[in-house]
């Protein structure tokens, strides 16, 4: 999320980690505008703090109050408040549970239809297809997924 902060349980900075890209400094374009970026960082910070407090036995924290009291500077130099959460993880526990259920269903369905091919295999097969198209007739194309070969004949 951020460059090594070197406090708490993190210890001293490691030289190779200082060169790595991180979300806080290098991802301004990923979520759209600066408002969405700042809100995402604020939520991550508050969740980290809230989880730490929960594990430490500390309570009395209002997540929405903490989030809406955080500000960021926009490109015009104005101080903008972050948005509250669209749902509260404790007060809306039923909603959170239903979202977890939907995510689990999505993951289960996705794993059923997973084609076990790595990026390297994919690029290798794409190169083979390009060379096949140059050397074979236009009537036959060969696709390969892992060790399974499927011949598809295209009628012209």
Q: For residues 86 and 115, give the distance between their C-alpha atoms in angstroms, rounded to a whole number.
A: 35
Q: How far is the first Cα of the chain from the last one, in angstroms, to the nearest whole number?
A: 53
Q: Which two tokens stand for residue 140?
A: 């036959």
Which of 133, 138, 42 minimizes the C-alpha distance to 83? 42
Spell out the domain ranges in the chain.
1-83, 87-114, 119-153
The single residue listed with the structure tokens 């910070």 is: 45
The single residue listed with the structure tokens 């408040």 is: 81
Per-residue pLDDT of the chain (156 residues; tens, 9 = 90+): 565 555 566 666 677 766 777 677 767 667 778 888 889 889 989 988 988 888 899 988 888 899 999 999 988 999 999 999 988 888 899 999 999 999 999 999 988 887 778 888 888 888 888 887 666 554 444 444 443 444 444 443
């Amino acid at each position: 999320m951020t460059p090594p902060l070197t406090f708490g349980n993190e210890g001293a900075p490691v030289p190779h980690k200082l060169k790595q890209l991180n979300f806080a400094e290098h991802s301004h374009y990923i979520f759209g505008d600066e408002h969405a970026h700042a809100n995402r960082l604020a939520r991550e910070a508050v969740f980290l703090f809230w989880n730490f407090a929960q594990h430490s036995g500390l309570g009395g924290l209002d997540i929405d109050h903490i989030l809406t009291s955080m500000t960021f500077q926009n490109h015009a130099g104005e101080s903008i408040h972050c948005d509250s959460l669209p749902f509260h993880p404790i007060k809306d526990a039923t909603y959170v549970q239903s979202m977890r259920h939907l995510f689990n269903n999505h993951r289960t369905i996705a794993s059923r239809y997973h084609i076990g091919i790595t990026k390297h295999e994919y690029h290798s097969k794409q190169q083979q297809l390009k060379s096949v198209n140059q050397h074979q007739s236009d009537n036959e194309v060969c696709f390969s997924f892992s060790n399974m070969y499927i011949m598809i004949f295209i009628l012209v």
